[in-house]
Structure 1
């Protein structure tokens, strides 16, 4: 092959023109922010300076701002009736970075913001209070004195795909909410819980990851009927999930792994909760039961389908005893897929050997069998 300087220069020029990927390590874009003073919106009139018309299709838009303040909120919103989108802002506020309260009409969407360093006492990244129809998604909240995200006394709330870490309180805390969806959030290295849910009605908690938090991975308190599925709860300082005074919750397809104490703990005011198809691995270092039940009538297996949970310290027993005053039992503990496949292979091998022996016996005694058939 003949070396060509012309082709080499063309290739190098093409490489320099390729688009550069500016995505941050956890998916947030490095944007050019415009410096801006703290924003206070107390009526619809205050929204008129922003782009948009306030409809669902064209909400008022607060976007691309760099707000830094040591003596106020970054963005404060109250008493509006229009739709508002707060997006792609970088907020370093000593108090709460974004604070929304008393919004009962329209929809508030808080998306793709970075909220950090709320270092005053009880400072939070995002706080929403007494508001209907709120969407909080794709935000990064870290190094706040208290919690990353707090939502309370609200209705119709979606909290999705947020990253909350190194906060002095909880990663995400929600309380007294009706109709809540918490999906695909990551909460790690927070001083308290990764997720806190208190006084919730109609909640789905799906595909969240809570790891390395200082206390529990998740606390669910006085919340009935919570659907808790496909979550990863690992390496938390106390229990993986603590269920307190909550009934008829549903735990399925979750991973509870390497939490310091129980993977899942139910107190004495929990009744009728269902727990099956979950993995419990190395909680309490697998030295004792990995779950605790002090409640009444909680079910640790689907007895109709004979499906329980996987326990890595089952030790070949046919049932798994749950620690606690309820004296509950997983009647149908699961085995790993690879272990199940090994068992099936063994069963198949035994059946083949048995069939071979039966066939051998048949041919070895063919003459006798023929004799008996003639007599009959």
Structure 2
């Protein structure tokens, strides 16, 4: 986790080992790092994208290089690939896939558009396609029309409408960042899964209109101007689970005329405040047979409403229980299905929580369902560096609900403000970021901020700042592990690599002489 060796070795190479050409060793080091299994294999956008005209593939016979196909044969294990392009979708759809059945992956590309009339990617009677690690900028989103087995994942979809589908089935929308006016719209969809997306700062987060057998889980649906989730038009067989539905203007989640579903393990927090006296966390209007339990309702304008009441279950049978309500004022002194065995508490309020009319939670939870504690910062490590070189900061951070964002806030030498640098996950609980090269000696101040799945935040250190020194080339850095100074550590690291490099050079020289 530490980078003692890296920093010490850099200083040593500059100041002491001037007689040896280290170029072969640097090449070898780069190859070793790139091949290391400990490096996270998160998809990244290619450094250079090639401009390409809008792509239209009409039928399986048109998967050709002329149409932007860069590889594959169209099978399930060797799909066609379209990648590496920068496409302007201002005057037409960026990519149109029509009447195809061959397997296809569209990945690692960017589509830009400033027109409301065209889509970034448009599927029309298509099947078996995946959109992965794609960025749509401007007003271009993804539209799925009468298609099946389509996946949109790990992408940044910033179109005026993010992802929309009509009369489509077996659709997965997973792990995306979706913004702008409308996040996800599903009309007449079947077997749709919306999982692990960040749908924040939209006009409306998710709309389900006549969608059936839909699963919405593990999403962050926050800060929409109106509805976080709106379900209408006889949508049925729905599951809403493990979502953070927070700070949406009108209603966190509204079900209107929907039937048969479960709403469990969600957090409804701070919703409905844009319309005082009317907004709510969860609204069930003319909706039937929903099971609602083990959710957190925290400081919503109205926590929930059920109209007409009595058609849905707001708790599960004892001893499973109901939901947590931040405004519940009851006590927990008794236990049992009737809460009349008053020999000790059982974690449920002794009196019901009234929702509206006859709707009630018979077993309100006394404690939140989700962990309200912030991530734990186990350690933060860095070592002194030199002018003109970046300095790596490593942090080990844990949280049972998952760490979602880590930032390094630093004050460069001579600056009067702090700047944020995202800390990238490295696998396990390790995160890293680089302090940019400084142009003079001095002290860099920094701290780490981390958020978990539920928005809990920790600052490390809790007050004050960490410090790292930037030295001129003629100065030594601080001690390495176990009191070892930088020069000694650099020597110990460099010598084995030097021996190996020397052997390579000798072998190459002898081979050259033979020829």
1:195 counterpart residue number? 206
Q: Is residue 96 of structure 2 the alignment partner of residue 76 of structure 1?
A: yes
When residues 41 and 310 of structure 1 are mapped into structure 2, their CA distance, relative to the original with a 3 A threshold, is same
TM-score (normalizing by structure 2): 0.57
Q: Structure 1 residues 216 and 8 mapped into 2: Cα distance closer, same or farther (>3 Å)?
A: same
In structure 2, the partner of 1:180 is 192
How far apart, in 2, do the equivalents of 1:71 and 1:55 lie?
A: 32
1:5–1:336: structure 2 CA closer, same or farther, 3 Å change rule?
closer
- For 1:370, the equivalent position in structure 2 comes to none
Q: Is the 8 A contact 1:303 1:331 kept in 2?
A: no
In the aligned structure 2, how far is the partner of 1:201 from the partner of 1:4? 60
1:114 to 2:135 alignment: yes
What residue number does 1:303 align with?
317
Q: CA deviation at 1:328?
A: 0.2
Uncovered stretches (5+) of structure 2, i.e. residues with no partner: 1-7, 273-278, 332-350, 370-515
**Which segments of structure 1 move beyond 6 Å, counting only runs of 4 or more?**
3-6, 10-20
CA RMSD, 1 decimal: 2.7
CA distance in 2: counterparts of 1:28 and 1:11, whole angstroms? 37
Matches of 1:11 and 1:171, distance apart in 2: 57
Equivalence for 2:284: 266
Show CA shifts across 1:242-291 (max 9, x none). 01111121011100000122110011x2111110100000101xxxx410
- The structural deviation recorded for 1:322 is 0.7
Where does residue 60 of structure 1 map in the other structure? 80
Residue deviations 1:218-253, cap 9 Å, x none?
Answer: 112222121111000000111000011111210111
> Residue 294 in 1 paired to residue 307 in 2?
yes
Q: 1:301 to 1:175 in 2, by over 3 A?
A: same
Q: CA deviation at 1:69?
A: 3.5
Aligned counterparts of 2:162 and 2:154: Cα–Cα separation in 1: 13
Cα distance, 1:66–1:227 mapped onto 2, change above 3 Å: same
Tell me by how many angstroms 1:33 deviates: 0.9
Aligned 1:87-98 pairs, distance under 5 A? 87-93=107-113, 94=115, 95-98=118-121
Q: Does residue 333 in structure 1 map to residue 336 in structure 2?
A: no
User: Quick check: 301-310 or 256-265, which moved more?
Assistant: 301-310
- Where structure 1 has 5 or more consecutive residues not aligned to the other structure, the ranges are 119-123, 339-376
Higher mean C-alpha deviation, range 59-68 or range 29-38: 29-38
Label 1:297 to 1:72 Cα distance change in 2 as closer, same or farther (>3 A).
same
Q: What corresponds to 1:246 in structure 2?
A: 258
Q: Is the 8 A contact 1:293 1:327 kept in 2?
A: no
Q: Which has the higher strand share?
A: 2
C-alpha separation in 2, matches of 1:74 and 1:138:
19
Closer/same/farther in 2, CA of residues 30 and 262 from structure 1, 3 Å limit: farther
Tell me, in whole angstroms, the C-alpha distance in 2 between the residues paired with 1:336 and 1:11. Answer: 61
The answer to whether the 8 Å contact 1:112/1:138 transfers is yes
Aligned pair in 2 of structure 1 residues 244, 5: CA closer, same or farther (>3 Å)?
A: closer
- The change in CA–CA distance for 1:314 and 1:47 in structure 2 (over 3 A counts) is same
Aligned position for 1:212: 223
Shift of 1:327: 2.7
| Aligned mates of 1:83, 1:92 — CA distance in 2 | 25
TM-score normalised by L of structure 1 = 0.77
2:63 aligned residue: 47
Aligned length: 313
CA displacement 1:31-86 (0-9 Å, x = unmatched): 32111111111122220322211111111111011001421111011012211111
Distance 1:45 1:70, change over 3 A: same
